[in-house]
Structure 1
C-alpha cells in the first residue's frame, strides 16, 4: 500500500453516493475522482486481495453491485470501507485512493482482462 508522504495530496471532500455506488473524492491539488465501489473492492489493499507478495494476488469475482455499508476514518491518513460482502480489512491511504482515481481506466481494463482469462465474471453467482 502506498504510504503517506508530507507532499501527498490530501482529500478536501469525501462523499459516498449509494445510489450510483461511487465514492467521490476531491483533493487539495485540485484533482477529483469518482471511484466505483466495485473497483475499490476488487483493488482492496488488504492482504486478502493483494496477497503477501508479488504474484499472490487473489482475483476477486462476482463483485458487481457490492455496496459500502460503512466508511470509517483511520487517523488522518486513510479510510476503511466496510463492504456488503463482509470485506473490511483494507486500509485505503490518501495516496492509494489518489492512485486508484488516477489509474482507474487502466485498473478496470486489467481487471476485466484477468476475469476473461480466468473465465470468471463480475456478476455474483
Structure 2
C-alpha cells in the first residue's frame, strides 16, 4: 500500500494551523505549536533516544515561511527562529492523525518535568545540545 500523498497545504496564520490534505481523503489541521514541540530536528529530538529536549512556551509561535523540500517534505521557519525541522509528508500525516495522543503525551511530559506549557525556554546559554 502506498503512503498517502499531499494534495494541498495551507498555512492559516490567524488560527495558527497548517492544513494538509491527502489523496486518501483525509485532511488535518495541525496547530503550529504541536509542529514546533514535535519538530523532527536534532534541536528538539536530540541525537538519540533519551536526548529529547522538552519544548515549552510555544503556544503563540507562528510559521513565518515554509518551503518545499523536494517532493517529500516541507521546512517551516517558526517565529522563534527555529527552522531546522524537515517535516516529511509521512510525519505530517502522523502528527495530524495522532494529535489527541500527542497532546496528551506532551502535557504528561510537561507535568513530569514540572514545567508550565507557557514558560519561556531557557536562553541559548542553557542549550542542552552543547554536549557532543
Give the counterpart of 1:29 among 20, 24, 29.
24
- Report what 1:64 is aligned to: 59
Contact 1:64 1:124 in 2 (8 A): no
TM-score, normalised to structure 2, is: 0.88
Unpaired stretches in structure 1, ≥5 consecutive residues: 1-5
- Report what 1:44 is aligned to: 39
Moved more, 76-85 or 114-123: 114-123
Give the secondary-structure state (helix, strand or coil) at the position aligned to 2:98: helix
CA deviation map 1:3-35 (0-9, x unaligned)? xxx811111010000000000010001111000
CA RMSD of aligned residues (A): 1.1
Give the counterpart of 1:55 among 47, 50, 54.
50
Unpaired stretches in structure 2, ≥5 consecutive residues: 121-132
Contact 1:22 1:36 in 2 (8 A): yes
Give the secondary-structure state (helix, strand or coil) at the position aligned to 1:111: helix
Q: Which has the higher contact order (CA 8 A, sep 6+)?
A: 1
Alignment of 1:75-90 (within 5 A): 75-90=70-85
- Report what 1:11 is aligned to: 6
TM-score, normalised to structure 1, is: 0.92
Offset, 1:124? 4.5
Cα distance in 2 between the residues matched to 1:121 and 1:85: 18
Contact 1:70 1:81 in 2 (8 A): yes
